[in-house]
Amino acid sequence: MLEIPALMGPAVMQSTPAWTIQRAEAREVDAYRALRREVFVTEQGVFGDDDRDDIDDDPRTIVLVARDGEGTVLGGVRLAPATARRDIGWWTGSRLAVRADARHAGGIGPALVREACATALQHGVLRFEATVQERNQALFRRLGWTPWGTVDIGGMRHVRMRWPITRIRDLVESTKSELGPLLGALRGDAPFSLGGAGFVGDDGAPVPGTDVVAACDAILPELIERDPEWAGWCAVLVNVNDLAAMGAAPVGLLDALGAPSSEIARRVMGGLRSAAHAWGVPLLGGHTQLGVPAALSVTALGRTTRPVPGGGARRGDDISLTIDLHGRWRPGFEGRQWDSTSTRTGEDLRALGTLVRDARPAAAKDVSMAGIVGTTAMLAEASSVGAVIEPATIPAPDSVAFGDWLTCFPGFGMITADRPGRGRMSTPIAQTARIGTATSERGVRLLWPDGVETDAVGLTATGLFPC
């Protein structure tokens, strides 16, 4: 619950803040709890003898306090995961309190709420809520919160409020939403344009009249400039993942490299060669140019007589995730790129590449820059279905912010869909779990342990398949 004293007072403009907000130290936590008792027990009578609860004993709980120049705690708020076991990105804020004599000190209450929201984002929170006294609903509305239910606490009516977090939707829109407007017209140019019927929007494209699948990916210039070897490695990684998602065995690679110097080019080529050796795929040729801005793209060729489409899911299918939790954040790309592959053996990497080919699910797509949920949205969109994803079922490494995990590039991750109980991939190298269901309602929603659904991605992800 996020109970607030009614008399916070209006915000007052000050040239020099009379107080600051920061994470509480141990002595400040004690002062904050004493302040809470004064407000919620003595002043308001919301609770009996004490307002202490299990959240206070949770070591994951964060307390923020507003204190004056002498260190006196004038107000505070706490936030913590809503789930007792592991953190799945659902947090609540609660026990917002401001001293009676500080409620006209320049908007301490609203400032604490804003800081709690910012702190939640920093910890990868995807659903952030509070239960506030009805008379304080207007304050939260002004701060951007939205109501979604009511409850009585201590004989007093409270409103359930949610602070909108659009992290997943924003990622999909920034990385995928322009594909339809840019590429959609190509679909009518030839029967096999954009992969052809059944394969539009796939990771690779079947070459007409053959058993060849071709895939092509480019690497961001920023990655080349900051970590050339890793850029070369990733250029192979993302392409062999694309082939693996279609059940194709890789047979060769072509690269196109532009570099500002021979030294950068040498380091990129080192990464390309290391990855090619690890996956056992030869570099067949390509193009190299020096003295130009950094640029790298790789085309991969694979073979299969039965390519697995990315758009083969049907309503009622189980949606599963197979993902390698081994590794760590790539230095310099924390929260964005998980390196599960560079310390794996070539045997492990090649084994992962055969999982889709052996399991033959109805649909498969490797987790891309759109993250786990965004990639699910792309698979669902191509299949003309929607999806409900259960965050509590998604495998994740320990001590990784859940929001980061759902929106990062994870190294090796495959989203698959098939009839319940079928098409499940199995390997000791990675974890497989059913994470959701394909639905008739378009878009992707998150189903939380309390039965509440929240929107994650809209009706379309790429725009290649108009509703």
What does 292-348 look like in DSSP terms, one character per residue?
S--EEEEEEEEE-SSPPPTT---TT-EEEEEE---SEEPTT-TTTBEE-STTS-HHH
Question: What are 175's two structure tokens?
Answer: 């990385």
Question: Per mean pLDDT, which of 7-11, 299-303, 398-402, 459-463 is the most reliable?
Answer: 299-303
Confidence of residue 12 (pLDDT cuts 50, 70, 90): very low
Q: What is the DSSP string of 48-91?
A: SS----HHHH-TT-EEEEEEETT--EEEEEEEEESSSSS--SEE
The one-character DSSP state at 409 is: B
In degrees, rounded to 5, the angle at the alpha carbon of residue 387 between the alpha carbons of residues 384 and 392 is 165
Q: What is the pLDDT of residue 17?
A: 64
- Specify whether the CB–CB gap between 308 and 364 falls below 8 A: yes
Q: Are 356 and 416 in contact (CB under 8 A)?
A: yes
pLDDT at 296: 98
pLDDT greater than 80 at residue 33: yes
What are 104-156's pLDDT values in tens digits? 878 999 999 999 999 999 999 999 999 999 888 999 999 999 999 999 887 88
- pLDDT in the model for residue 203: 83
Residue 16 has what pLDDT?
53
Indicate the pTM of the whole model.
Answer: 0.91
- Listing from the earlier edge strand, what are the strands of the sheet with 413-418? 363-366, 413-418, 318-323, 431-439, 386-389, 444-447, 453-457
As a whole number of angstroms, the longest Cα–Cα distance in the chain is 80
pLDDT at 85 over 50: yes
Span 315-370, pLDDT tens digits:
999 999 999 999 999 999 999 999 999 999 999 999 999 999 999 999 999 999 99
Report all structural domains of the chain as residue ranges with CATH numbers, in order of start.
Answer: 19-165 (3.40.630.30), 166-201+309-467 (3.90.650.10), 203-308 (3.30.1330.10)
Task: Average the pLDDT over each of 20-34, 93-107, 445-459 and give the range with the smallest value.
Answer: 93-107
Distance CA 285, CA 24 (A): 59
pLDDT at 466 over 80: no
pLDDT number for residue 298: 98
Q: Which helix (H) or strand (E) holds 120?
A: helix 108-122
Report residue 185's pLDDT band, with 50, 70 and 90 as the boundaries: confident
State the burial class of residue 16 (Cβ atoms within 10 Å of its Cβ: 0-12, 13-18, 19+). exposed
Q: Does the pLDDT value for residue 6 go beyond 60?
A: no
Query: Chain-wide mean pLDDT for the chain?
Result: 93
Number of Cβ within a 10 Å radius of residue 118: 11
Is the pLDDT higher at 130 or at 1? Answer: 130
